[in-house]
Structure 1
Amino acid sequence: RRDAATGLLADGSAIVETAEVVGITDPDGMAVPVTERSTLGMGEAIRTLLDLDVRKFYVALGGSSTNDGGAGLLVGLGLKLFDADGKTLDPVPSQLGRIARIDATGLDPRVREAEFTGMSDVDNPLTGEHGATAIFGPQKGVTADQIATIDAALAHFADLLEPALQLTARDKPGAGAAGGLGFALHMLGASFEAGAEVVARQVGLDIALEGATWLITGEGRSDVQTLHGKAPFIACQHARAHGVEASLLSGAIDPAALPRLSEHFSGCFSPAPGPITLEVAIRDAATLLANEAEQLARLKFGSR
């Protein structure tokens, strides 16, 4: 177990970030076999916020280490899973295929009063060849010979959960986000929105663009996936709607993606001055970005 932060906004809503609670960058969490990881901490975090009278939640669905179909989140909110002998099961992939009965009567009643927004940039379903396990599982440690078994376990979980909650959600867009955590949110009645759109609204991007002449945006590495709802592309769309040019300044730019990226961005740049190691890039990131941004500004506005 580890401590994780959540965010409270001025309007009383909360942000719960999957990458913070069950993140793929957590070495201790990743040391646990993927078949034994769960999103239980997500449910516990939401329950704690419910105790603080929060009723509006933004759940960021990127960067998860889990592949449990959101079973952990629901168990954290009071759902119970039982095997054929009536014994309680842990909400982890290795146990989902053994579920014989789901008891939803203990689900925290305050969930019905809450409003959930899933912040996701993917539209994958829960299961199948385009589902959570097949597409995103390998980056979390799911091996090729585990994909079919875990995918079947998630399907079995959905087979029992959907009638228990009288909803159908496994094929809804985003159900496969964050190892199926999106499925659990759909089962709680969540709406879904591109995470970058939520952030843009919360930080007042459109207000900042009024009267602006140029936007610089970027990410760790830009490629064709950038154009599928990633933050720089959303920022670029907002800028263009205001008649403002947008340039891309990312840690790396995929050369093969330049023609597509250049259809939207007024120049695509990287701060790396030459071949450098990842260690150096991380260590000197602030200086490298500042130097390159200055050179871009000189190019656009002259040396004044």
Structure 2
Amino acid sequence: MSSPSSPAPRHRPDASPRVVVAPDSFKGSLSAAEVAAVVADGVRAVAPAADVVLLPMADGGEGTLDALLAVWGTGARDVDALDAVGRPRTARYGVSADGRLGIVELAEASGLPGVSDAPLQPLLAHTLGTGAAAAAALDAGAEEIIVCLGGSASTDGGAGILTGLGARLLDASGAQVPDGGEGLAQVARLDLSGLHPRAARVRWRLAVDVTNPLHGDLGAAHVFGPQKGATPADVEYLDAALKHWAEVLERQTGVAVADLPGAGAAGGVPAGLVAVLGAELTPGATLVAEAVGLPAAIASADLVLTGEGSFDSQSVHGKVADAVGALAAAAPGRPPVVVLAGRVLLPAAQTHAAGIAAAFSIAPGPIDLDELLNRTPARLADLAAMVTGLYLGTASR
């Protein structure tokens, strides 16, 4: 099971193995929590006495809120907000069981799926609703706010979130500028006197999975603007507006964000939050791993099972499998990590280089995709049972 350089399994034949199950979702089929439960059933089918620790994971994009709530054992909370084009909607956010962590998923209020029934408005779309969710998490007493940035419908540089937290963006005459990327070009200064009283006193962490700068050829407008409906002319306007926004932020806060790696994520959201709130950018899977206590769980594990719909080259560059493999490689006992996936496209050498012992597909052979999706739970449980049985057989020798 393990790569040639891995230590021997730590499981003793007379002891129950400790198996950590930390998968991502199988998009279009099962949520991360559902995957974890099915895998656990497979493990227990061959090792009834196993100590199985379920820690559903996510990479910081859509689905992260649900993954964290499943681990924390808390329910989502609702807040009245606006969607990316200004229509009233209810957005969800979460708070950890101890009340210390708040989780806000940008896609809940400000994502593309929420405005799929309306014409795209690349210049006017905003993140104001995400600001309302963040304010609700602050009101709930959270000491640290995690903001997951996947699925954005806007290019507003985080201005909407700041506005939702009580800031005002003013033009040269002192009037408040319009919401959205279009308004950024008119900003002369920020009025932070009405900012939520706790906003600057808590820790802000942003889950990102890109390294794009705020503006320029690789910036938010050029790379991500077209998928949000931006025409070539819109892209040029938004790029210039983001450049101007960075200049205003640096002039007022002293923080340079124009070339900050990752500042272009989610339409430039990190720019505003880093400059005004001191937010930290963290790879999404790493942030989620810390939030659910995965490092400590892996440190005492005998076997680690993770998974996702497609295990490919992207999987070992900041995704869940990459984070799990890195944690296991750094753990004292270096427990073997096995990936269970809908399909496996990564060669063994690259798999081992990522700290992963092996990766297996749930597909039994040539099979129609719809049929495989329908059979995913059963196939996944069977595969988990086979991998666990192989591990136990290896450990007993």
Secondary structure in 2 matching 1:7: strand
Q: Which residue of 2 aligns with 1:159?
A: 247
Equivalent residue, structure 2, for 1:114: 202
Are residues 297 and 72 of structure 1, via their aligned partners in 2, closer, same or farther at CA, if it must alter by over 3 Å? same
- Contact 2:225–2:235 under 8 Å retained in 1: yes
SS of the aligned residue for 2:362 comes to coil
Select between 290-299 and 193-202 the one with higher mean Cα deviation.
Answer: 290-299
Give 3-state SS (helix, strand or coil) of 1:162's partner: helix
SS at match of 1:149: helix
Partner residue in 1 for 2:335? 244
Of residues 287, 291, 297, the one that matches 2:378 is: 287
**2:387 alignment partner, one of 268, 293, 296:** 296
Instruction: Give 2:303's match in structure 1, choosing from 214, 222, 237.
Output: 214
Deviation of the 1:235 alpha carbon = 0.6
Structure-1-length-normalised TM-score = 0.85
| 2:92 alignment partner, SS class | coil
* Contact 1:39 1:70 (8 Å CA) reproduced: yes
Cα gap change, 1:247 to 1:77, in 2 (>3 Å)? same
Aligned residue type for 2:105: E
Structure with more relative contact order (C-alpha pairs < 8 Å, separation 6 or more)? 2
Name the SS for the 1:250 alignment partner: strand
The CA distance in 1 between the partners of 2:374 and 2:221, in whole Å, is 34
Identify which of 95, 120, 136 aligns with 1:48: 136
Match of residue 276 from structure 1: 368
Deviates more, 1:167-176 or 1:77-86: 77-86
Which residues in structure 2 correspond to 1:115-194 (within 5 Å)? 115-187=203-275, 188-194=277-283
Sequence identity percentage: 36
Over aligned residues, Cα RMSD in angstroms? 2.9
Gaps of 5+ in 1: none
Q: CA deviation at 1:284?
A: 4.5
Do the aligned residues in 2 keep the contact of 1:16 with 1:45 (CA within 8 Å)? yes
TM-score (normalizing by structure 2): 0.67
Q: Secondary structure at the match of 2:212?
A: coil
More strand per residue: 2
**Runs of at least 5 residues in structure 2 that lack an aligned partner in the other structure:** 1-87
Q: What is the CA-CA distance between 1:200 and the residue it aligns to?
A: 1.9
> In structure 1, how many angstroms separate the alpha carbons of the residues matched to 2:175 and 2:115?
31
Query: Shift in Å at residue 14 of structure 1?
Result: 0.8
Q: What does the per-residue CA deviation read over 1:233-252, in whole Å, with 9 as the maximum and x for residues that have no partner?
A: 11111112231111222333
Q: In terms of mean alpha carbon deviation, does 81-90 or 38-47 score higher? A: 81-90
1:122-158 C-alpha deviation (Å, 9 max, x unpaired)? 3322111222223333443444553322211211222
| Matched residue type, 1:296 | V
Match of 2:316 among 227, 234, 244: 227
Q: 1: distance between equivalents of 2:141 and 2:353? A: 46
